[in-house]
Structure 1
Amino acid sequence: MNFPESERVIYNRNPLIEVVCQLRFPPILKISHSEPVEFQDEVRLQYPLFEMKQSQVPPDFLKVAQQFGLSLPSEVTYSFKSEDQKWHLSITKDFIALTTSSYERYEQFKQRFEDAVKIFERIYKPSFYTRVGLRYQDLIIRSKLGIEDKQWSELIAKHIASELYDPELSPAIQTIVKNLVFKTENGQINLNHGLVKVKESQDAIDEIAYLFDADFYTEQKIEGDKNVWNILSEFNQSAGKLFRWSITDTLHRALQPQSISP
Structure 2
Amino acid sequence: MNRERILHKNQIDVVVCQIGFNVIFGIDERMGAIQEDLRSRYPFSSISVEGEPLPSPGISPINNYCFESDDRRWKVNITRGFLSISTCAYQNWDDFKDRLHDVMDIVCKHLKLDSTTRIGLRYINTIRRSRLATYPSDLPEWSDLIDVHTLGLMGVHANSTNTYSSRIEYEYKESKCCTTSGQIRFNDDGEVGFLIDNDVFTDKGENVDDVFNILDKFNNICYELFESMITDKLMEMMR
Verify same fold: TM over 0.5. yes
Q: Matches of residues 49-198 of structure 1 in structure 2 within 5 Å?
A: 49-57=44-52, 70=56, 74-146=61-133, 148-166=138-156, 169-198=157-186
Q: Which residue of 2 aligns with 1:37?
A: 32
Which residue identity is paired with 1:211?
A: L
Which residue identity is paired with 1:152?
A: W
Could you say what secondary structure the match of 1:173 adopts?
coil
Which residue identity is paired with 2:202?
A: T
Residues 51, 16 of structure 1: alpha-carbon distance in 2 compared, 3 angstrom cutoff = same
Alpha-carbon displacement from aligned partner over 1:41-90 (angstroms, at most 9, x marks no partner): 11110111111112353xxxx8xx8xxx6557611011111111111011
Distance 2:172 2:234 in 1: 26
Residues matched between the structures, number: 234
Could you say what secondary structure the match of 1:212 adopts?
strand
Indicate conservation of the 8 Å contact 1:8/1:240, yes or no: no
Indicate conservation of the 8 Å contact 1:155/1:248, yes or no: yes
Alpha-carbon displacement from aligned partner over 1:103-131 (angstroms, at most 9, x marks no partner): 11101100110111012112111241010
Q: TM-score, normalised by structure 2?
A: 0.90
Q: Which residue of 2 aligns with 1:231?
A: 214
Q: TM-score, normalised by structure 1?
A: 0.83
Indicate conservation of the 8 Å contact 1:186/1:218, yes or no: no
Distance 2:174 2:67 in 1: 30
Structure with bigger gyration radius: 1
Alpha-carbon displacement from aligned partner over 1:121-143 (angstroms, at most 9, x marks no partner): 12111241010000000110111
Could you say what secondary structure the match of 2:105 adopts?
helix
Extract unaligned runs of 5+ from structure 1: 1-5, 258-262
Indicate conservation of the 8 Å contact 2:114/2:208, yes or no: no
Distance 1:100 1:112 in 2: 10
Residues 229, 186 of structure 1: alpha-carbon distance in 2 compared, 3 angstrom cutoff = farther
Distance 2:149 2:208 in 1: 38
What is the percent sequence identity of the aligned residues? 27
Could you say what secondary structure the match of 2:26 adopts?
helix
Displacement of 1:241 after TM fit? 1.3
Which residue identity is paired with 1:117?
A: M
RMSD: 2.0
Residues 112, 87 of structure 1: alpha-carbon distance in 2 compared, 3 angstrom cutoff = same
Q: Could you list the runs of 4 or more consecutive aligned residues of structure 1 that deviate by over 6 angstroms after TM superposition?
A: none
Alpha-carbon displacement from aligned partner over 1:224-250 (angstroms, at most 9, x marks no partner): 32x111110011111111111111122
Q: Which residue of 2 aligns with 1:213?
A: 197
Q: Which residue of 2 aligns with 1:240?
A: 223
Alpha-carbon displacement from aligned partner over 1:2-43 (angstroms, at most 9, x marks no partner): xxxx98322222211100001001100112x42501111111
Distance 2:3 2:112 in 1: 38
Per mean C-alpha deviation after superposition, the further-off stretch among 71-80 and 125-134 is 71-80
Distance 2:22 2:5 in 1: 37
